[in-house]
């Protein structure tokens, strides 16, 4: 008689699968809660200790770690020496292993106490999966419940192929690698240390229609270790999010999260191609969005809007006058949703911008991976380095402008006034070109009395000269150039105040 060993935490569909295997002539072997679940549904099942002739010990920590189990999984049926050894020690083959693991991931999401986390680290399960997968030519290893029906049909029709066995082995090792990656990251987080080997586990959410361009295939994966605003959104309307929507949304929401609506900083971010085009703070959500919209009525077309507060009917009405791809906010009034849902393709997302973002940023190169901390400095050290000092109103605008500048592609500059962007220039290979771009692209704007933020230092005094010409009254930049004094002298000459922060904000 063929044998199947079943031990699962996720019991979805397991009774039906066990019944099918039993009807196909398999002896069912099982453990603990899985044994009880199968048995109470009238399916004959053999307890694991009848196979090992050894009881479960150490509160269930040891039950399948035994030669009778792993010998039955690992011996090669076409190797005479293996067959002889198995026969000598009374080891019978195990032909199918159905295992999914203790819910360490669920415990992580619930932020359970450390001792409980440790008890949710599965040892026997990964060992059985790995043993079965290593001997995949002789043993079917099944780790995903959605494979149960396919396996049943193929067994019934005797269509188990080598290709299927290899596919199941791939899924098996992917499951244990993902599982171990979460445990590794848990200990990294707890200890604040890291090893030379870093493994990050991602779980596929969906197939996307395409990537940045129609000829590029793309998929969406979730990092279940990170409980961020971006992994906990609810889509209320519209088509599925595209690759570009998701990429843009991430930047829009991260920038929106820089501001706290509970402190009266109602924020609206309009964004296109992962670059802010209009950002503003207001005393009300409507005022914030109106100011962001007025900042750049052209670029917002076909873009994304993120807000850090409720969207009301007045705000929704103004949004509905524009073609937008996505609107993201913590909540909406019923009237606002009714207005926005009239555009059936508009993606409307409910998203909590107060949840934390990921603590690291990844860039994949060809065979190399760059991992860095996120650019999340909150309190920069401001030092006024000019004769003219900043006013309180300028200070507010300077801080606002620098927060926006962090999310603009380098080289980047942001011109702002009254807590709203007036012009944004980014993605240039020269800083003066970034400022030229901002001025030329927003030539209809009056920059008199505005402030200017730069994501990195001025290598020359040319940006200060141009800023003074258009009426900029105050500048914020990191400083640190060997020619800083040239910019300071030019500010003093032109009557412009300047703040050094000491912190660069390149975004490549």
Just list the catalytic residues: 134, 273
How many Cβ atoms sit within 10 Å of the Cβ of residue 479?
21
The DSSP bridge pattern shows strands 203-208 and 140-142 to be unpaired
DSSP code of residue 158: T
List Cβ neighbours of 317 (8 Å cut-off, separation of 6 or more): 339
- Six-digit token string for 267: 């924020």
Q: Coil, helix or strand for 197?
A: coil
Cα–chain center distance at 96: 35
How would you list the strands of the sheet with 497-500, edge to edge?
234-237, 347-350, 324-329, 303-307, 266-272, 275-282, 420-425, 413-417, 451-454, 474-477, 497-500, 383-384
Rounded-to-10 torsion of CA 227, 229, 234, 240:
-100
d(CA 433, CA 470): 15
How many Cβ atoms sit within 10 Å of the Cβ of residue 150?
12
- Six-digit token string for 153: 């049909």
Q: Cβ distance 345 to 242 under 8 Å?
A: no
How many angstroms separate the most distant Cα atoms in the chain? 95
Q: Cβ distance 148 to 16 under 8 Å?
A: yes
d(CA 505, CA 498): 17
d(CA 419, CA 444): 19
Q: Coil, helix or strand for 221?
A: strand
Q: Measured between alpha carbons, how far is residue 246 from residues 212, 231, 301 in Å? A: 11, 11, 17
- Six-digit token string for 292: 């962001």
Is the bond into 113 cis (omega within 30 degrees of 0)? no
**Which DSSP helix (H) or strand (E) runs through 371?**
strand 369-373
Q: Say how many CA atoms lie within 13 Å of 188 toward its Cβ.
A: 16
Q: Which of 320, 258, 198 is nearest to 505 (CA)?
A: 258
170-173's contacts with Cβ under 8 Å and 24+ in sequence apart are 171/143, 171/144, 171/147, 172/129, 172/130, 172/132, 172/133, 172/136, 172/141, 172/143, 173/129, 173/130, 173/133
How many Cβ atoms sit within 10 Å of the Cβ of residue 10?
13
- Six-digit token string for 454: 């730069």
């Amino acid at each position: 008689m063929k044998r199947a060993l079943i031990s699962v935490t996720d019991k979805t569909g397991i009774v039906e699968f066990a019944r099918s295997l039993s009807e196909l002539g398999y002896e069912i072997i099982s453990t603990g809660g899985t044994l009880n679940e199968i048995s109470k549904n009238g399916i004959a099942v053999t307890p694991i200790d009848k196979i090992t002739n050894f009881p479960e010990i150490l509160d269930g920590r040891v039950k399948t770690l035994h030669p009778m189990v792993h010998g039955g999984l690992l011996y090669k049926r076409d190797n005479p020496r293996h067959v002889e050894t198995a026969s000598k020690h009374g080891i019978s083959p195990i032909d199918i292993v159905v295992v999914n693991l203790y819910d360490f991931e669920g415990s992580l999401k619930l932020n359970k106490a450390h001792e409980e986390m440790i008890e949710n680290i599965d040892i026997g399960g990964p060992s059985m999966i790995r043993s079965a997968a290593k001997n995949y030519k002789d043993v079917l290893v099944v780790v995903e419940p959605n494979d149960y029906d396919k396996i049943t049909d193929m067994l019934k029709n005797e269509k188990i192929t080598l290709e299927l066995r290899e596919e199941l082995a791939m899924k098996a090792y992917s499951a244990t690698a993902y599982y171990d990656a979460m445990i590794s990251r848990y200990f990294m987080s707890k200890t604040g240390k890291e090893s030379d080997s870093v493994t990050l586990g991602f779980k596929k959410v969906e197939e996307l229609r395409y990537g940045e361009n129609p000829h590029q295939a793309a998929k969406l994966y979730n990092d279940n270790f990170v409980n961020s605003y971006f992994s906990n959104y609810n889509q209320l309307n519209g088509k599925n999010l595209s690759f570009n929507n998701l990429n843009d949304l991430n930047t829009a929401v991260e920038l929106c999260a820089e501001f706290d609506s509970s402190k009266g900083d109602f924020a609206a971010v309009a964004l296109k191609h992962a670059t802010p085009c209009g950002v503003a703070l207001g005393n009300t959500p409507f005022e914030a969005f109106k100011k962001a919209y007025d900042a750049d009525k052209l670029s917002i077309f076909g873009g994304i809007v993120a807000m850090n507060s409720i969207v009301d009917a007045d705000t929704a009405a103004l949004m509905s006058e524009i073609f937008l791809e996505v609107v993201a906010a913590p909540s909406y009034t019923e009237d606002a949703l009714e207005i926005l849902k009239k555009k059936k393709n508009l993606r409307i997302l409910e998203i909590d911008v107060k949840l934390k973002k990921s603590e690291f940023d990844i860039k994949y190169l060809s065979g190399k991976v760059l991992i860095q901390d996120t650019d999340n400095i909150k309190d920069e050290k401001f030092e006024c380095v000019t004769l003219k000092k900043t006013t309180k109103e300028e200070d507010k605008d300077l801080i606002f402008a620098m927060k926006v500048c962090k999310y603009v592609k380098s080289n980047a500059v942001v011109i702002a006034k009254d807590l709203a962007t007036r012009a944004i220039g980014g993605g240039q290979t020269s800083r003066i070109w970034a400022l030229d771009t901002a001025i030329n692209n927003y030539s209809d704007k009056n920059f008199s009395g505005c402030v200017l933020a730069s994501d990195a230092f001025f290598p020359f005094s040319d940006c200060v000269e141009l800023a003074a010409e258009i009426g900029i009254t105050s500048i914020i930049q990191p400083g640190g150039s060997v020619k800083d004094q040239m910019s300071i002298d030019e500010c003093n000459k032109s009557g412009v105040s300047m703040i050094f922060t000491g912190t660069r904000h390149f975004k490549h």
